[in-house]
Every structure is written in structure tokens, then in C-alpha cells.
Amino acid sequence: MDVFKCIVCDGSFHEVDLIVSEKMFGLSGVFKYKKCLKCNTLQLTNPPNSLERFYPDTYYSLTEKVTNRNKISNWLRFQRDTFELGRFSLSGAVATILVPNLSFRYFRSMTNISRASRILDVGCGSGQFLYNLKAHGFKSLTGIDPYMLDRKTTEVTGGLNLWAKELHQINETYNLLIFNHVFEHLPNPNKTLLDAKKCIPIGGYILIRVPLSDSFAYAKYSENWVQLDAPRHYVLYTRRALIDLFSKHGFLCLKQDDDSSDFQFWGSILYQANEKLSPYISNKTAVLNYFGRIRLLYFKMLSRLLNIFGRGDQGIFLFQRIA
């Protein structure tokens, strides 16, 4: 029986393969994931030679922009995010209850981060998160994403730069690095953290959001769990494995919460039905027509309960470099 070495903890694992196909776009390929017996992460063991075709121009993170939303939605999100950053308003408080934004809320826990701090978003896609920060007065924002190549080589606008680069190509230092659903896409997390340390001084932060395999959704849906996202996701972490990995590289976990959504249910059910995800992922009307309002409300309520009890399928973590 084949024995593989875990790329997270150097443990071995030789459990039965989880056989998965690419389901977002319905592209060809059969991919295998194994579970580490030491840290319990799921890892892709037969990655394709090139991932270029799995990140087409229509990949959601490369196309989504804040400005694509309607004016009312934009206003509500702005009020919510202003509230999450620490400025009270009644409209912001209501919007936060309905649709919280933990990524912005976590800025309150970064005591030495200001609007002038240097922030790098790794794997920024279209730059949506950075545009949102810019709207709230942050003045030194940089985003990098290798898949901007041949799509958008660089964009510069008043303190916001987007570059078609990878982390190891960055020579500048930053106060905060963001990996917003990016870390699971990286084939060598230990090297990534070594590269990150070159960009962050002692006391600097990493804010990271990732899918979590020690979740109710993975236990329920297995190979149809929407967050497997083969073959784009190399590693699906458990909470403990991610914290231990960062600790090994000199980072202390300051804060962690589950922030899963109803996507874990409707996306996985679509996969169970052999539906491609791409027609639904940015089309709320299509999702509503398929599932109906009552069923989607149930998914949202169940997701909130899972987050409270630490069984959501994605989480947000704040790390500070201490060594």
C-alpha cells in the first residue's frame, strides 16, 4: 500500500482515497485526496501538471467586484463594515446581525493596525476585499494574484495596487497579510509561511479564512462537499492542524471563529445532483429558484448554529508573528 508524506506535519497517511472530480465547471479529471493520520488534514495526492485551465476568466474571485452590486446592497454593506470596524450606527448594527463581516471585525483585534498600515492581500482575485478597505479609508493596499496574468497585469488607483505576482516575488514588508480563501490553494504551506515571514516584522499579523475539514458538512457530504473544490484546493485543514502549522513558524493564534454560510449546504446538494456550480455561484436568483426561500432560510439558520458550536465548514483566524 502506498504511503504518502503529509505536507503539513510530515506525518504519514494511507487511508482509502477520496475520489473526486472537478465539479465547479464540469472539467475533466479524477482527483484523489487522502487524510493524514496525524493532523487529519485532507490532501490532494495527484495534482494536475498545470492548474491554468482550472482558473478560467469566469472563475468567481477573478470577476467579482463590489461595484457590481446594486446601490442599496452597497450602502448596507458599507454601513455594516463601518460598524464592524468600530463606528456605531443603527443601520450598521442591523446589517451586522443579518450578514456579519468577521474579516472587518477582526481589525479591531489588531491593536497596531491603522488606516495608514501597509496591507498585502495574497491571492486577491479581482481585488474586491481591497476595494472595500479603500472605501473605508485604508491608504496603503496591495494585492497579488498570479492568475491576473493575461487578464489584468497591474492596476494602480490612489493607494491600491494590484500585481500579477506570487508571494515569493515580494520584497517589501507589510503590517498585515491576508489570505482570504487562498491558503487551501497553495501546494506548499510551509514554504508559503517562510515567504510570509520575510514580509512581516515581529508583531505583524496574518488574517486567514479557510475551509475546515473537521466540519459537519464534510462529514455529511464527503466527496460532494462543495469546499473540496478539486483540484484547486490542495489542503483542507482542521482547526488544530492550521494553528499548529502557524505555531511551528512563530505565529500565535490570537482569535478564531467559524464563519460558514448556507453555501455549504446548497453547493454540496448541487454536487450530489451532478449539477455544475458555475451557473449558480454568482446568481442568487438561480439558487433561489432551485431551492426555494424556506429551504434556504433553513440552511442559513443551521449554518449559524454550526458556527456557534464550532462545526462550521470554514473559519477565520488571526495570527501574530512572535518569533
pLDDT tens digits for range 54-81: 888 777 666 565 455 577 778 888 899 9
Architecture of domain 57-321: 3-Layer(aba) Sandwich (3.40)
Asked if residue 319 lies in contact with residue 205, where contact means CB atoms within 8 angstroms, the answer is yes
pLDDT of residue 29: 87
pLDDT of residue 2: 55
Q: What is the pLDDT averaged over residues 247-261?
A: 97
Q: 154 pLDDT band (50/70/90 cuts)?
A: low
| Residues in contact with 83: Cβ distance below 8 Å, sequence separation at least 6, in sequence order | 89, 92, 93, 95, 96
Q: What is the DSSP string of 69-127?
A: S-HHHHHHHHHHHHHHTT---HHHHHHHHHS--HHHHGGGG-TT--TTSEEEEET-TT-
pLDDT-wise least confident of 120-124, 160-164, 221-225: 160-164
Residue 244 confidence (pLDDT) above 70: yes
Task: List the one residue out of 199, 152, 151 whose CA is nearest residue 176.
Answer: 199
Q: What is the pLDDT averaged over residues 293-322?
A: 97
Instruction: Look at 68 and 245; give whichever has higher pLDDT.
Output: 245
Percent of the chain with pLDDT over 70: 92
Q: Residue 103 and residue 244: Cα distance in Å, rounded?
A: 21
pLDDT of residue 1: 47
Q: What is the pLDDT averaged over residues 29-36?
A: 91
Task: List the one residue out of 159, 209, 165, 201 whose CA is nearest residue 183.
Answer: 209
Rounded mean pLDDT of the chain? 90
Quick: pLDDT tens for 167-206. 999 999 999 999 999 999 999 999 999 999 999 999 999 9
Q: Residue 90 and residue 275: Cα distance in Å, rounded?
A: 41
pLDDT-wise least confident of 1-5, 118-122, 145-149, 266-270: 1-5
What residues does each domain of the chain span? 57-321
Q: What is the pLDDT averaged over residues 310-318?
A: 97
pLDDT of residue 69: 59
Q: Residue 18 and residue 236: Cα distance in Å, rounded?
A: 13
Residue 265 confidence (pLDDT) above 50: yes
Percent of the chain with pLDDT over 90: 64
DSSP 145: -
DSSP 215: S
Measuring CA to CA, how many Å separate 75 from each of 82, 83, 115? 11, 12, 21
Tell if the pTM clears 0.75, that is, is over it: yes
